[in-house]
């Protein structure tokens, strides 16, 4: 019997021996009342809350469910959502940045009947600061790989106890840091999930940090002047020109650049209203700054290699072109394409 099956069996035994009064939740014969989950005993786990949440008509989470919050070990916090109408499957979502709060990028899957869980990876703090890790090996290991694994194991044990059966399928999905968590799960704990989606995985933290610093230095050469280098309208102009030039490279003109790496574009050809271009007049400072931002796509960072001279290697790939004017969330802060890279 595997470790996870042992944990599930232990949970079911504890539930039955505890004398829980079972009720019929929608479609789940014999499901125990939500509040009774709080009395479930698992090794090195403290369940702090088990609350029945009614169905909602607004917000991202609308399905009726049982919300179970708890702590694993010293400080790995988690929140597990158990839908009243369960599809028999489990879906865990990852976090972003340095996490630092309970995050679950797959939380809305509860609306489709999945039991779903998220974790803070063993510490509390802001998504862009890591003071919590200083001289604390346990937190470093939890964030690095262990918290996701332990949370998955505990979640499946609670699921097995609550529904009196184990999930038929288990999945993980994450983007950025969550993508890095996905890769770590696949490498260290391949039995945790049947399917894993790793989106834009952040896993080379040294390389990412070096890239952020390089971008900040390029975007803000004068540390005393941290105002935006160019307006969103200017970025939209650049983006439209790039998309128009490279949209059809994949054989379909649909407003999407399939592979930005194959897009060959000279930013000097962009005409910004009220300004001369570098082709028919003096170089425009706005275009110069845009050019600095586009440049990292194919650039390299010099890395010192012992015993070798002038060896270049890519520490991190640059930012893909074609999304200059898109306002997105970067580590929880709104940014406009390449305009605010490293500015927040």
* Residue 99 domain flag: yes
> What are the start-end ranges of the H helices in 102-231?
137-141, 147-163, 177-188, 205-219
* 197 in the same domain as 220: no
Question: What CATH number does the domain containing 59 carry?
Answer: 3.40.50
Residue 32 confidence (pLDDT): 62
Domain with 182, as residue range(s), is 3-203
* 210 in the same domain as 198: no
* 65 in the same domain as 183: yes
Rounded Cα–Cα distance for residues 318 and 89 (Å): 38
* 112 in the same domain as 143: yes
* 321 in the same domain as 285: yes
* 140 in the same domain as 83: yes
* Residue 342 domain flag: no
Per-residue CA distances from 6 to 43, 153, 165, 262 (Å):
12, 10, 13, 50
Say if CB 70 and CB 78 are below 8 A apart. yes
* Residue 341 domain flag: no
**Which residue, of 203, 218, 244, is where some domain finishes?**
203
* Residue 343 domain flag: no
Specify the DSSP class assigned to residue 142.
I
Q: Which of 117, 54, 109 is nearest to 87 (CA)?
A: 109
Q: Which of 240, 257, 236 is nearest to 248 (CA)?
A: 257
* 132 in the same domain as 110: yes
Rounded Cα–Cα distance for residues 184 and 178 (Å): 10
Q: Which of 245, 257, 253 is nearest to 320 (CA)?
A: 257
Query: Any bridge partners for residue 257, and if so which?
Result: none
Is the full-model pTM beyond 0.75?
A: no
* Residue 95 domain flag: yes
Write down the residue that tokens 């003096």 correspond to: 282
157, two tokens: 């044990």
Residue 27 confidence (pLDDT): 41
> Mean pLDDT per 10-residue run, the chain (344 residues)?
44 38 40 87 97 97 98 98 98 96 97 98 93 97 98 98 97 96 98 96 86 77 77 81 91 91 78 45 47 39 34 52 58 38 32
- The SS3 assignment for 336 reads strand
* 151 in the same domain as 246: no
Say if CB 111 and CB 62 are below 8 A apart. yes
**Which residue, of 177, 203, 229, is where some domain finishes?**
203
* Residue 344 domain flag: no
Query: Any bridge partners for residue 69, and if so which?
Result: 49, 79
- The SS3 assignment for 166 reads coil
Residue 235 confidence (pLDDT): 78
> What total number of domains does the chain contain?
2
* 198 in the same domain as 211: no
B/e letters for 87-119, b = 16+ CB within 10 Å, e = fewer, are bebbbbbbbbbbbbbbbbbbbbbbbebbbbbbb
* Residue 22 domain flag: yes
* Residue 93 domain flag: yes
Say if CB 277 and CB 290 are below 8 A apart. no
* 184 in the same domain as 241: no
* 154 in the same domain as 64: yes
**Which residue, of 170, 203, 236, is where some domain finishes?**
203
* 164 in the same domain as 37: yes
Q: CB-based contacts of 308: which residues, under 8 Å, 6+ apart?
A: none
């Amino acid at each position: 019997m595997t470790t996870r099956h042992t944990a599930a069996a232990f949970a079911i035994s504890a539930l039955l021996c505890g004398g829980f009064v079972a009720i019929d939740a929608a479609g789940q014969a014999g499901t125990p009342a939500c509040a009774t989950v709080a009395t479930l005993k698992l090794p090195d786990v403290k369940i702090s809350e088990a609350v029945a949440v009614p169905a909602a008509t607004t917000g991202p989470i609308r399905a009726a469910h049982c919300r179970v919050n708890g702590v694993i070990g010293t400080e790995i916090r988690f929140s597990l959502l158990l839908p009243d109408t369960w599809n028999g499957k489990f879906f865990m979502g990852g976090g972003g940045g340095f996490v630092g709060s309970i995050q679950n990028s797959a939380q809305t899957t509860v609306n489709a009947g999945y039991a779903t869980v998220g974790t803070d990876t063993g510490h509390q703090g802001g998504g862009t600061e890591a003071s919590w890790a200083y001289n604390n090996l346990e937190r470093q290991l939890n964030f690095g790989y262990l918290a996701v694994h332990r949370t998955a194991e505990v979640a499946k044990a609670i699921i097995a106890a609550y529904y009196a059966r184990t999930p038929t399928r288990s999945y993980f999905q994450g983007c950025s840091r969550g993508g890095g968590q996905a890769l770590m799960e696949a490498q260290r704990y391949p039995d945790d999930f049947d399917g894993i989606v790793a989106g834009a995985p952040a896993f080379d933290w040294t390389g990412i940090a070096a890239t952020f610093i390089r971008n900040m230095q390029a975007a803000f050469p004068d540390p005393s002047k941290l105002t935006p280098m160019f307006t969103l309208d200017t970025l939209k102009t650049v983006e439209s020109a790039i998309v128009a030039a490279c949209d059809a490279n994949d054989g379909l003109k649909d407003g999407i650049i399939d592979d930005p790496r194959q897009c060959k574009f000279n930013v000097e050809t962009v005409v910004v209203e009220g300004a001369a271009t570098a082709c028919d007049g003096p170089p425009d400072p706005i275009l110069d700054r845009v050019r600095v931002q586009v440049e990292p796509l194919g650039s390299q960072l010099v890395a010192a290699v012992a015993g070798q001279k002038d060896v270049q290697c890519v520490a991190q790939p640059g930012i893909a072109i074609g999304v200059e004017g898109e306002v997105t969330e970067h580590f929880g802060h709104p940014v406009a394409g390449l305009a605010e890279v490293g500015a927040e």
